[in-house]
Structure 1
Amino acid sequence: MAPPSWADATYQLSPSSLTLEPSGSRSTGSFQVRSTGDEPVAVEIRVTERQMDLNGKETRPDAEDDFVVYPPQILLQPGQVQTVRVTWLGDPTPANELPFRLIAEQLPIALDKPEAEVTTAVVRINALYNFVASLYVTPRGVSSNVVLESASHQNINGQDALVVQFHNQGTAHQLLTGLHLSLTSGTGGQTVTLNPEQLQGVSGENLLAQNQRQFTVPWPAGVPVGPVTATFALQ
């Protein structure tokens, strides 16, 4: 049996990203949860912090004290759309943009149905789907400032690899959209520029404010293995 895909999900969450201001009328925003199946679906909405380590792994402590989510639980009939309002209650004057996750979790529900005589063995798998959206509380005047801190060679399991480390020293997140990375050999002087297709797993990634991220890609052809200097551009 093939595993369920996101196309099988019986509801959708939109938008995928929402930005609030820390005070005023724009400290409230809304998401929509839409039923796309032919049976009722129960969904719980909650907000978590979004902490990210050097490798991009997220930790999500609960953030319920900083937000009001209404309604926090919904039961959607087929085709129904429910608006969920999210209001920031935290610091009205944060120094940096604050990143969060809004998570929609499908809950198991049992609807009373007439019992039918079972004449054959039946296996039914009910897959429960979670959707995760980005939620930012962004004060006015913040901006990103991404610097490339290092680029170096590492031998990982016998394979030559390029390890790059970025640091967002700014006060707002930055997507590494359209990343181009230029490498110059420290021995032969050759220069190679890698495009987004060659930087899969790096290009498009998110650097949260005041965060560092480290990425590893195969060592590029055309550059002698060894020390390199690197520059980058976002397009």
Structure 2
Amino acid sequence: MSLPRAGFFAFFSCLFLASTASAMTVTPTQIEMTSTGRTSRSAITVVNNGTDPLAVELVVKTATLDEAGVPKTRPAGDDFLVMPPQALIAPGATQNFRIQWLGEPLLDKSETFLIYVDQIPVKLPKRARGVQVVFGMGVMVNVAPPRGKPSLQVVKSGIVTDAHGRRHPTLTVFNPTNVHALFPQSTVRISGGSWSSTLSSGELAQSIGIGLVQPGHRRRFILPITLPERVTAVQSSLEFRPKP
């Protein structure tokens, strides 16, 4: 399932006056690349699930995430070759878009991009009425340098209360390396007094998602644990095991 252009990665859905929209599926939602070698190339697949032709274009942005995971984006320039940059996809058809890194082959540190697959509004006859829902779906692309290994350090632990009065532990981590780290590639242990709980990598991936921590950055995560009433403070530790 593709990521809408709203929420966490600031992917947006826009409304335009026109007729009916064509639904689309974008895969994958996350791509891991390197600045050199075979993995400096990848592809994005778009499927037109609708009954009308689907016009789309791919737009590349550089992204920087703050501690809460909210991105700030800017144009990516000529860092990527996207082929084709636009396409008209027939109903029920599939279009593959090739992406290739054209930026610095010897990157100093990882860079993160958001590649938006934006539906292009079609021009309709003057008599046509209604609302066309024009979607933008997004793919996160992380480009790692040819050398380096990610690491995560626990900076701070805390507790937050949600809208339903349930308390959850928080964990702030720091990436001191030149390679981006994915927090769900960790096993996390939370404890408070005689109570403790452990979250596996799979549980973190299911509840948190990508969990990107960029080089030299911090990220604060709310963990999917409801704390017992007797726990008033927590300590955290993690074992980070990045995939090769």
Corresponding residue number in structure 2 for 1:168:
175
Corresponding residue number in structure 1 for 2:52:
39
Corresponding residue number in structure 1 for 2:10:
none
Distance 2:140 2:204 in 1: 26
Amino acid paired to 2:188: H
Corresponding residue number in structure 1 for 2:88:
75
Aligned length: 217
Amino acid paired to 2:238: F
| CA distance 1:33–1:198, change in 2 (3 Å) | closer
Classify the secondary structure of the residue corresponding to 1:65.
coil
Choose the corresponding residue for 1:180, options 180, 188, 203. 188
Choose the corresponding residue for 2:77, options 60, 64, 83. 64
Once the two structures are overlaid, the 10-residue window that deviates more, 101-110 or 89-98, is 89-98
| CA distance 1:181–1:62, change in 2 (3 Å) | same
Q: Deviation of residue 106 (structure 1)? A: 0.8
Gaps of 5+ in 2: 1-12, 14-20
| CA distance 1:191–1:9, change in 2 (3 Å) | farther
Corresponding residue number in structure 2 for 1:119:
none
Amino acid paired to 1:130: G
Amino acid paired to 1:192: S
Classify the secondary structure of the residue corresponding to 1:37.
coil
Say whether the 8 Å CA contact 1:97–1:142 is kept in structure 2.
no
TM-score normalised by length of structure 1: 0.75
Superposed CA RMSD in Å reads 3.4
Gaps of 5+ in 1: 117-122
Distance 2:209 2:230 in 1: 20
Corresponding residue number in structure 2 for 1:143:
149
Corresponding residue number in structure 1 for 2:68:
55
Does structure 1 residue 19 correspond to structure 2 residue 32? yes
Distance 2:139 2:22 in 1: 16
Once the two structures are overlaid, the 10-residue window that deviates more, 209-218 or 56-65, is 209-218
TM-score normalised by length of structure 2: 0.73
Choose the corresponding residue for 1:192, options 192, 196, 201. 196
Classify the secondary structure of the residue corresponding to 1:95.
coil
Distance 1:89 1:14 in 2: 22
| CA distance 1:155–1:14, change in 2 (3 Å) | closer
Classify the secondary structure of the residue corresponding to 2:69.
coil
